[in-house]
A and B are shown apart, each in its own frame.
Chain A
Amino acid sequence: DVKVTQSSRYLVKRTGEKVFLECVQDMDHENMFWYRQDPGLGLRLIYFSYDVKMKEKGDIPEGYSVSREKKERFSLILESASTNQTSMYLCASSERPGEREKLFFGSGTQLSVL
């Protein structure tokens, strides 16, 4: 089974802190994604990556950056956390091109910014 592992289940940070969310997948997937999930708003794409060292902006990239130095790892960075970034963050991966939409998700990181 594909496994997508997010490093933290819950995080509490202060406004202005730099926050790192880590995600690792074990199935050699080329594509990796970061979403945030908020009640009533559904899943919104922050950033995605189709290859190592490659990244593309999603629908809501402001205030975030990403890093993909190795194929299996995709990190989401909040440069200066703000209260409106309190949310559930979900990492996902998918198989070869053409199968991009069959996403495998991690369990999520619930981030609270105080």
Chain B
Amino acid sequence: EDQVTQSPEALRLQEGESSSLNCSYTVSGLRGLFWYRQDPGKGPEFLFTLYSAGEEKEKERLKATLTKKESFLHITAPKPEDSATYLCAARSGSARQLTFGSGTQLTVLP
């Protein structure tokens, strides 16, 4: 059974304090690892897709990386507007749909 585990569940940072969110996955034949951002009261918004170990994607202060067992979302010098819940999801070769983690709730304090 495919599993995706995110840690920590919640993270509080001071503005400018860089950190990383972790997404560990157990899937057979990874076909893609996805990161989404979800603001309160809204649906998730797509951020990145990673397909193979060693791949990296960047967008503003965010950088996603992928290994054979986990993905990291690195946040460099975060701002309060980066506060949100970050979700990761994985698709295996045998599954037709995504398996989502339960998310990391990030709070960036001014």
Contact = CB atoms under 8 A, between A and B. Distances in A.
A101 B87 contact: no
B87 A42 contact: yes
Interface of B: 4, 32, 34, 36, 41-46, 49, 87, 89, 91, 96-98, 100-103
Interface residues of A, number: 22
B49 A108 contact: no
Contacts of B43: 4, 90, 92, 105-108
Nearest to A39: B102
B102 A101 contact: no
Contacts of A59: 97
B93 to A, nearest CB: 13
A103 B103 contact: no
Contacts of A90: 43-44
Contacts of B49: 101-102
A41 interface: yes
5 contacts: A42-B102, A42-B103, A45-B97, A45-B98, A107-B43
Interface in A70-96: 90, 92
Contacts of A43: 44, 87, 89, 100
Given A4-B43, A90-B43, A107-B43, A101 B91 contact: yes
Contacts of B89: 43, 101
Given A40-B102, A104-B46, 10 more contacts: A4-B43, A33-B97, A41-B102, A42-B87, A56-B96, A90-B44, A105-B43, A105-B45, A106-B43, A108-B43
Given A42-B103, A43-B87, A101 B42 contact: no
Nearest 9 CB-CB pairings of A with B: A105-B43, A42-B102, A43-B100, A42-B100, A105-B44, A106-B43, A90-B43, A107-B42, A45-B97
B53 to A, nearest CB: 18
A58 interface: yes
A103 to B, nearest CB: 7
